[in-house]
């Protein structure tokens, strides 16, 4: 094994071990002359007990990939062969594996899974054009980067496709994700092998369930009825046992992923209904315009009556019943904001925790029905603002530093209309979330100097907005809590960027004023958060005194 601090080839200094598998160890290294981080994969020659794995694993990875360039895979920079090992120097990918996301948070939002699926399909298509078969697609081999995009890594099982050579299809890959032909000697691995594994990976990501043949047969909607029938059909076709029944290449798969809505039965039914409605309108116009107008008014009146009835029933129902009724109301009249806001404020905010399950649900609701709401600019804006607030202030603690949370915050606050009365707050929250999702990458690249001052300016703007704008008590207190946590976490960095002690003290005074303006006797939740703010104020004051002591 390489030693921490060791310098390889006179330029790559080993900083620490960042990964270990059955065939290799991966280290983070720094080329100090250009101040750039690299990943170095060490593969010991004596660790390869199976000569066939050695030949199509290690040498294939080096020889096949060293000339590949694609935004969704690391680039091999250098290869160093020693007596005992191979050292493969490649791009260092910062982020978290999709396996870790699944382990910690379960099923991922369908919209993200489709986005990732298209990126993975694109990189597989690129490799296939070079006659390279990846053969080990799975969440553990996919890294979600800070920018929200994914990269495929660990190319230890790649091979070159050379035509019908059945004997080289050995059982490399991972159970559940590996295609049948990787175990059976009936056919050779080819592009369709990777398509099977991608389908299995998408199944795992969108359901949270480990991929199995029975799971593929039942479909993703057996786990969550809100999932798209179109995506279910795509995954089923990817994971057909018979390779001839799968997508035959990545271009075919990419087309369906890009037109997922159009392959959805709901979409086809909707288009059919539109066609029938159009035909009916033509017939009615021939029979008489007056009759057509009267019929239209009756349909609209019935829809409005049904919608109002469902919302009225929800008022006197249990929490579970309310939830289902609000979803029903959205389906009945997707272009009206009221049902969306009721779902957000009376269901998702009720327990003060916006769970992963609720995140998946609201993403599916917006993906399926949100388009109808866009015709009402301010209504759509209001719903997006409130979803942004859910992600910003109500996520459970496990999501506190997760970049997918910051991505969602930026997405929804970024959709708030310029004519919305909350636009100024939305811009502040967007800027703060954007700082949070990018700061770790800036620290790694040593480019974070100056970014803390910009973050501080947004804290100042938030306090000013709260003091001068009528915001609700929960938003006031959650903002105070967030500001205290930010000052506590970045005291030294704020000081380095030029924030003075007086500025910090004024900020804390304002936090105390805002918190004190909220009455204690409203709810137990408010009492508890005010106690938290009071205790943190004292602690943060002491930390500021300590950091600025030398001044």
Beta bridge partners of 97: 143
Question: What number of H helices and E strands is found in the chain?
Answer: 20, 11
Find the angle CA(231)-CA(176)-CA(86) to the nearest 5 degrees.
115
- Which of 136, 256, 336, 382 is an active site residue? 136
Q: Are 195 and 251 in contact (CB under 8 A)?
A: no
Structure tokens at 33: 């002359």
Of the candidates 431, 476, 430, the one whose C-alpha atom is nearest the C-alpha of residue 456 is 431
CA dihedral (373, 378, 381, 387) positive or negative: negative
According to DSSP, residue 189 is labeled -
Are the CB atoms for 329 and 340 separated by under 8 Å?
no
Both tokens assigned to 62 = 């080096």
What is the C-alpha end-to-end distance of the chain, expressed in Å?
47
Q: Rounded distance, CA 133 to CA 198, Å?
A: 12
159 in helix, strand or coil? strand
What token pair was written down for 302?
């019935």
Separation of alpha carbons 202 and 207, rounded Å: 8
Q: Write out the E strands in 57-187.
A: 76-81, 85-91, 96-97, 132-133, 142-144, 150-152, 159-160
Burial of 53 (0-12, 13-18, 19+ CB in 10 A): middle
Give pairs for 149-153: CB < 8 Å, separation 24+.
Answer: 149/71, 149/72, 149/119, 150/72, 150/98, 150/116, 150/119, 150/120, 151/72, 151/73, 151/74, 151/93, 151/95, 152/72, 152/73, 152/120, 152/123, 152/124, 153/73, 153/74, 153/93
Give the span between the Cα atoms of 174 and 177, in whole angstroms. 6
DSSP string, 7-51: EETTTEEEEEEEEE-SS-EEEEEEETTTTEEEEEEEEEGGG---H
- Look up residue 20 and give its two tokens: 């270990």
CA 148 to chain CA mean position, Å:
6
308 is catalytic: no
Catalytic residues: 136
């Amino acid at each position: 094994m390489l030693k921490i601090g060791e310098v390889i080839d006179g330029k790559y200094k080993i900083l620490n071990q960042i990964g270990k598998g059955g065939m290799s160890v991966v280290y983070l290294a720094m080329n100090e002359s250009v101040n750039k981080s690299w990943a170095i994969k060490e593969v010991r020659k004596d660790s390869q007990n199976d000569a066939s794995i050695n030949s199509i694993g290690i040498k294939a990875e080096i020889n096949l990939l060293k000339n590949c360039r694609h935004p969704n895979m690391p680039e091999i920079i250098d290869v160093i062969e020693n007596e005992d090992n191979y050292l493969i120097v490649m791009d260092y990918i910062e982020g978290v594996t999709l396996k870790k996301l699944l382990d910690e948070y379960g099923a991922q939002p369908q919209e993200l899974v489709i986005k990732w699926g298209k990126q993975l399909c694109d990189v597989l298509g690129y490799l296939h054009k070079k006659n390279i078969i990846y053969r080990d697609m799975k969440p553990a081999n996919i890294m979600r980067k800070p920018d929200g995009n994914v990269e495929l890594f660990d190319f230890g099982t790649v091979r070159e496709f050379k035509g019908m050579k059945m004997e080289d299809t050995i059982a490399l890959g991972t159970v559940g994700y590996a295609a049948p032909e990787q175990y059976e000697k009936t056919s050779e691995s080819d592009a369709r092998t990777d398509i099977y594994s991608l389908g299995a990976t998408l199944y795992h990501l969108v359901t949270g369930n480990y991929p199995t043949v029975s799971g593929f047969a039942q479909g993703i909607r057996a786990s969550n009825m809100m999932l798209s029938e179109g995506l279910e059909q795509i995954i089923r076709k990817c994971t057909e046992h018979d390779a001839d029944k799968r997508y035959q290449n990545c271009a075919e798969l990419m087309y369906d992923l890009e037109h997922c809505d159009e392959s959805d039965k709901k979409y086809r039914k909707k288009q059919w209904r539109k066609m029938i409605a159009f035909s009916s309108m033509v017939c009615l116009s021939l029979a008489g315009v007056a009759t057509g107008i009267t019929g239209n008014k009756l349909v609209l009146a019935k829809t409005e009556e049904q919608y109002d009835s469902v919302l009225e029933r929800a008022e006197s129902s249990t929490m579970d019943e309310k939830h289902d009724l609000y979803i029903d109301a959205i389906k009945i009249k997707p272009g009206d904001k009221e049902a969306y806001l009721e779902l957000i404020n009376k269901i998702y905010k009720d327990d003060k925790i916006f769970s992963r399950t609720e995140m998946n649900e609201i993403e599916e609701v917006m993906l399926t029905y949100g388009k109808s709401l866009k015709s009402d600019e301010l209504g759509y804006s209001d719903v997006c603002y409130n979803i942004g607030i859910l992600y910003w202030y109500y996520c459970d603690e496990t999501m506190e530093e997760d970049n997918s949370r910051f991505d969602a915050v930026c997405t929804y606050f970024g959709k708030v209309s310029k004519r919305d009365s909350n636009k100024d707050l939305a811009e502040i929250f967007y800027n703060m979330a954007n700082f949070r999702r990018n700061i770790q990458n800036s620290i790694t690249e040593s480019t974070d100097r100056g970014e803390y001052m910009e973050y501080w300016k947004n804290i100042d703007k938030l306090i000013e907005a709260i003091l001068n704008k009528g915001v609700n008590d929960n938003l006031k207190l959650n903002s105070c809590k967030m500001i205290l946590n930010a000052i506590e976490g970045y005291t030294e960095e704020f000081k380095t960027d030029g924030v003075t002690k007086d500025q910090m003290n004024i900020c804390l005074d304002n936090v105390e004023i805002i918190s004190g303006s909220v009455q204690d006797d409203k709810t137990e939740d408010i009492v508890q958060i005010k106690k938290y703010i009071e205790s943190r104020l004292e602690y943060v004051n002491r930390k500021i005194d300590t950091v600025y002591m030398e001044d």
